[in-house]
Amino acid sequence: MSRFLMIFCGLLTIGCGQPVTQSPGSEKIDSLQTGIVKAHRECNSIYFWKTTFDPTKTELDFLQKYDVQRLYIRFFDVALDNSWLEEKLTVVPIATTVFAQTPPAGLEIVPTVYITLEALRSVKGKEAEYADKITTRILAMATRHKISNISEVQFDCDWTGTTQESYFELCRIAKDTLYRRGVGLSATIRLHQLRKDPPPVDRGVLMLYNTGALKSADTENSILNYSDIEFYLKNAVYPLHLDFAYPTFSWGVWFRDNKFRAILRTINFSDKTYYQSLKKGTYKVVKDHYLESHELLRGDIIRLENSRYVEILKTQCRVEKELGGDNYSVILYHLDSANLSKYTPDEIMYIYNR
């Protein structure tokens, strides 16, 4: 743990949004070299979690200013959806990231794939098939977009006890395939997964956000609340190297009659024509209107949630003391100038504590 923190503590197709038909085995993967997997190094890191990779100048400047050396980019999701080949729900890649820019030279890029729980259940018994599809698609996208500085791929999945066997098998096969390309495999780890066996990957990233009950109208802040993590960290021991990811984002949580309706990316509810400010960061809709394709009705409630700096530091102090070891990376979620601008440069530096 850093000196500053100690002081404070005291699959089917390739392409970018459009299907590209290829015959099996025809993908030319030449941007990655075979060989030994590189050693994982400690460095400032950040996620990029949008469907178009087109960072602004402000966001690119952020990477330089804070010496960010590793960028986790969501490449695509694996989900149950209507296949363009079959008239039924099947496991397919969706929400593929479009690369309007090539990632900056010199950054280590970690392609990240989110696997939904529904997709994972459908993969059971076909883990080898889908591990091959996922890894082939990742590497083909890297080649197509000239992304060569890859030494790690990451799987992101909220697996449970009933899907653990299938997920672990998927990881084992994917890891073997990636190793032959000189690429390692990591996985995100949720707090509730700390009490379970670790997946068969090289390392994990402990997600220290989305810790509360999002859909409960009684929740104050589901993004990060220190009281939510205490139970999981009590006497925590995890037999896998962990890096730590902290939130730097905000969102609105929309309710009607105390029932969850949707997450809103809009975070400005200051317009008194449509919203009345209530206590504890909640807003009441006072006039019917549309927002982000949703019809909001008078009387609806929006809970504005933020990643509060003090909560981040309290969490960081506890988790890195319990699970940090000698070397670990701090990762922010995610690269978005509108959200990152809510923190001062000193606050960002302190979170990274390098």
Provide the Cα torsion 10, 248, 349, 7; round to 10°. 0
* pLDDT tens digits for range 211-234: 999 999 999 999 999 999 998 998
State how far the Cα of 253 lies from the Cα of 74, in Å rounded to an integer.
Answer: 23
**Res 178: pLDDT:** 97
Bond into 334 cis (ω within 30): yes
Is the predicted pLDDT of residue 35 greater than 90, yes or no? no
* pLDDT tens digits for range 129-178: 999 999 999 999 999 999 999 999 999 999 999 999 999 999 999 999 99
Q: Which two tokens stand for residue 31?
A: 């941007």
* pLDDT tens digits for range 295-315: 999 999 999 999 999 999 999
The continuous run of DSSP H or E covering 331 comes out as strand 330-333
Spell out the SS3 assignment of 231-265. HHHCCCCCCCCEEEEEECCCEEEEEECCEEEEEEC
Instruction: Tell me the HSE value of 133 on the side-chain side, using a 13 A CA sphere.
Output: 16
pTM of the predicted model over 0.75: yes
Is the predicted pLDDT of residue 4 greater than 70, yes or no? no
Question: Among all chains, which residue has been given the structure tokens 């989305």?
Answer: 210
State how far the Cα of 116 lies from the Cα of 122, in Å rounded to an integer.
Answer: 10
Contact 71, 45 (CB under 8 A): yes
State how far the Cα of 78 lies from the Cα of 80, in Å rounded to an integer.
Answer: 7
Which residue stretches of the chain are H helix?
A: 3-9, 57-65, 117-123, 127-144, 164-179, 226-233, 309-323, 337-340, 345-352
Burial of 259 (0-12, 13-18, 19+ CB in 10 A): exposed
DSSP state of 23: -
- Which of 222, 229, 227 lies closest to 244 in space, CA to CA? 229
Question: Among all chains, which residue has been given the structure tokens 């820019």?
Answer: 101
State how far the Cα of 134 lies from the Cα of 156, in Å rounded to an integer.
Answer: 13
**Res 33: pLDDT:** 55
Is the predicted pLDDT of residue 20 greater than 80, yes or no? no
Burial of 95 (0-12, 13-18, 19+ CB in 10 A): middle
* pLDDT tens digits for range 259-299: 999 999 999 999 999 999 998 899 999 999 999 999 999 99
Q: Which residue has the higher pLDDT, 213 or 26?
A: 213
Other Cβ atoms less than 10 A from the Cβ of 100: the count is 10
**Res 66: pLDDT:** 98
Q: Which two tokens stand for residue 121?
A: 């259940």
Q: What is the largest CA-CA distance in the chain?
A: 61
- Which of 130, 133, 128, 122 lies closest to 80 in space, CA to CA? 122
Average pLDDT, the chain: 90
